[in-house]
Structure 1
Amino acid sequence: MIESRLISLLRRSKSVAQKLSSSNPREWKTFTTPCGFSNEHQSRFYSSLQRFIPAARTPVARSCVGYGLRSLLQSNCKNFYKPPFRNFSTAAPVSAKDTGGLKLLAGPHAQKAVGIWLFVSAAWVFSMVVLGGVTRLTRSGLSMTDWKFTGGLPPLSDEEWLVEFENISNPRIQTLWLVWAWHVSSNLGHSRVNKGMSLDDFKFIYWMEYAHRMWGRALGIMFALPFSYFLWKGYITVRLGLRLSGLFALGAGQGLIGWWMVKSGLEEPTTEYAEPRVSPYRLAAHLTSAFVIYSGLFWTALSVVMPEPPAESVAWVQGAAKVKRLALPVSFLVGITAVSGAFVAGNDAGRAFNTFPKMGDTWIPEDIFSLKPLVRNFFENTSTVQLDHRILATATLFSIGGLWWSSRKLDIHPAIRSLIGSTMGMAALQVTLGISTLLSYVPVSLGTAHQAGALTLLTLMILLNHTLRRPSLQLLKTLPSVAKTV
């Protein structure tokens, strides 16, 4: 009686599984280890079954154990068997079998949300760099002589403003008043040197620095809250989470680097007539760190929304590989030029030798190696720093021009060709902005535009290198040799 029931049950489970498999084979298939039962466990179960139930030795029972037992376990072990979580998760990476080795940073349903968040974060950092340039050019950084981690309310009454105004009685800041007054007169066209800095003038530079600090803290909140939500929902893979955690740590340290930079401008001068100025090394570290954070966010955002580069033929992939060999050193040169611009800003080198192409009456100033040891000249000597930036900017322009010229006859994707042309145009515009800023004695408008132009050029180079990536193996197998032309 028991033997016949067992055989009937096994036959029934096999027939049900066959029907379900034919109707929806993707969901109902043979699992090698259902409920933790491996093939070895099934063989042991079948052997023990033969000892106690003779009918289990029949051909029907043997055929049912291999397949029907799995279906039986699937249908009766609902508490143990669960479909793969990846089928429902929007964050789990697609397996290498499905993508030919391509590793997604976010699931298909999470790509849009995570991508938008990262692009907004990158744009926010871009605006921070521009606002920081305005703060530097208006000499606003030294208006706040303290730094509070939790922030604080600005002065709201006249008495509070007077107290804050009196806090900057440092001799370095007193000298800053005259420098700021000269700066305003050179930009606004009227003299205020004899008047010094009024309370209204102080309020202007105070609000600039306060806005820069609060904008940075708002960026931290805007980044941390969605990041926590996406982690809680499982929208972010481990690989992406580690990368974003590193970028968040850099952003948190950026505020400390900023105060470390400002603090250098409040220290006593080494000479009696030294102009109040932050350390060029600290300013370069602050600006370079911002560029690194922006580049990391922008590259990651592109990787989330565009896991595969545009490719429609093997010939275009081969052409992109040739362009990439040229684009990488050009990108490195763009980055070095941007860092040298930070030292130009830190040494106020833009307000010296306001002629072009010569530097004053000569091509090369005589004092470019006046400091000892020799290496200090490349970071602290105004003449050397500006000469270096001129040479690097010119080399960058010609390098991008060479990249554009070399790619003209290559068989590449139209998007890559368009990006190279845009990069060439932006490089020419950036050099024009730099020369105009120099000849105009660094007005706030042109100086800010020049700094934003450097970040825009870097953005185009990042986008170009991201587009030049090699496609996944699965995509390469499906590409024709030559792209179809309409």
Structure 2
Amino acid sequence: MPFDAETSAATADRTEPDPRPVALWLLGVAAMVWIMVALGGATRLTGSGLSIMEWAPLSGALPPLSEAEWQRLYDLYRTIPQYALVHAGFGLEGFKEIFWLEWTHRLWGRLIGLAYALPLAWFWLRGRIPAGYRGRLLLLLLLGGLQGAVGWFMVASGFEADRTAVSPYRLVLHLGLALGLFAALLWTGLSLLRAPAAPQPATGSVRRQIKAAAWLVVATMLAGGFVAGIKAGFDYNTFPLMDGQLVPEGYGRLSPWWQNLTANIPAVQFNHRLLATLTALAALGAATGGWRRLAPGAARHACLLLGGAVCLQYALGVATLVHVVPVWLGTLHQACAVLVLAAALLALHGLREPRRPA
């Protein structure tokens, strides 16, 4: 039987596993991480994150099953500063209200772990993972486990003396890792679903615009983490001026100077506003470039989605600020931030260059 290059290619096509089931699974897990980020925002805004003071990855999946267990956890919570300074006297029923949100947040994290690890094992054992992706999928598993550990590292900082919330630095680390995990899951799933499109004449210039907008999106989100971490959104609740000034008084009052970037309320809020404005301008420029220079298709639609998502997020940010951070608006603002990141990644992925042959 003759055997040539065409026969070899056909045989490889028959033996290579279909990447679509793996891609859809990864995109489903990415959606779960998106929900997790929103739950984390609600947990933070309601002051629920410190209600569970034990790190119990297995036994903690079950809620308290007796009144004695409820009382034990409540007594444990009453030993930390947050209870004395924020929730003193709210009773066992008040404790249950904040407990359930934090417990749901942690349970959802456990479900994400199962939703990733079990299908990964099944795809692996059945030989359904496309060539070149095993190492990447294992790395994503490790990142998910690291995120759980960083979550507890963050929560533990809230038990320190005179603290009523977690360390803003650990909060930003936790948020940044969650966003990185979401981005990696989304990018990997998209890479399995669709091959790079043929480059268009204007692809390079639009890609550079999208890259600039994407980096500004990341910087704005991390700056927003510091706004959340030091509760800067509860001050200067006017827009566009801050206490009647463009740059607020006391912007650089801390020493050393770099602490103003992370610990000074007027500076942290101003920086977030500035980065958000630059992001909006860059995203609108990229959307305009995509509309004018790209042919109709997925990449063009993703550029327009990025422009629309950033405008929506900007409006939500202003509304959250002027209404003094209501829980539902703050949670929606955090969830929409992930939409903006997803839109930027969709646009970048749609404009990526095909790999050059070795």
Structures share a fold, TM > 0.5? yes
- Deviation at 1:169? 2.1
- Aligned twin of 1:405: 288
Q: Which amino acid aligns with 1:305?
A: L
CA 151–213 in structure 1, closer or farther in 2 if over 3 Å, else same: farther
- Aligned twin of 1:440: 323
Q: Which amino acid aligns with 1:281?
A: Y
Q: Alpha-carbon deviations, 1:127-165, whole Å to 9, x = none? A: 111111111111111101111132332212222212211
- 1:7-406 to structure 2, matched below 5 A, reads 28-30=1-3, 86=12, 88-90=14-16, 107=17, 110-152=18-60, 153-178=62-87, 196-269=89-162, 276-309=164-197, 311=198, 317-406=200-289
Number of equivalenced pairs: 354
- Asked if 2 retains the 8 angstrom alpha-carbon contact of 1:89 and 1:234, the reply is no
- Aligned twin of 2:299: 416
- Asked if 1 retains the 8 angstrom alpha-carbon contact of 2:209 and 2:282, the reply is no
Q: CA RMSD in A?
A: 2.2
- Deviation at 1:87? 5.6
Return 158-167 or 285-294, whichever deviates more. Answer: 158-167
- Deviation at 1:375? 0.7
CA 85–403 in structure 1, closer or farther in 2 if over 3 Å, else same: closer
Q: Which amino acid aligns with 1:174?
A: Y
1:146 is paired with a residue whose SS is: coil
- Deviation at 1:319? 2.1
Between the two structures, name the one with larger relative contact order (CA 8 Å, sep ≥ 6): 2
- Deviation at 1:226? 0.9
Task: Decide which structure has the larger Cα Rg and report it.
Answer: 1
- Deviation at 1:350? 0.7
- Structure 2 gaps of 5+ residues are none
Q: Alpha-carbon deviations, 1:386-425, whole Å to 9, x = none? A: 0100000001011112222334432434333322222111
2:129 is paired with a residue whose SS is: coil
TM-score, with normalisation over the residues of structure 1? 0.69
1:370 is paired with a residue whose SS is: coil
Q: Which amino acid aligns with 2:190?
A: L
- Deviation at 1:356? 0.9
Distance in structure 2 (CA, Å) of the matches to 1:308 and 1:406: 20
TM-score, with normalisation over the residues of structure 2? 0.93
- Structure 1 gaps of 5+ residues are 1-27, 33-82, 91-106, 179-194, 270-274, 475-486
Distance in structure 2 (CA, Å) of the matches to 1:285 and 1:328: 22
CA 30–165 in structure 1, closer or farther in 2 if over 3 Å, else same: closer
- Asked if 1 retains the 8 angstrom alpha-carbon contact of 2:19 and 2:129, the reply is no
Q: Which amino acid aligns with 1:444?
A: V
Distance in structure 2 (CA, Å) of the matches to 1:411 and 1:421: 11
Q: Alpha-carbon deviations, 1:82-111, whole Å to 9, x = none? A: x99746523xxxxxxxxxxxxxxxx3xx22
Q: Which amino acid aligns with 1:399?
A: A
Q: Alpha-carbon deviations, 1:340-398, whole Å to 9, x = none? A: 11111111111111111111232222222222211111011111110100000001011
1:139 is paired with a residue whose SS is: coil
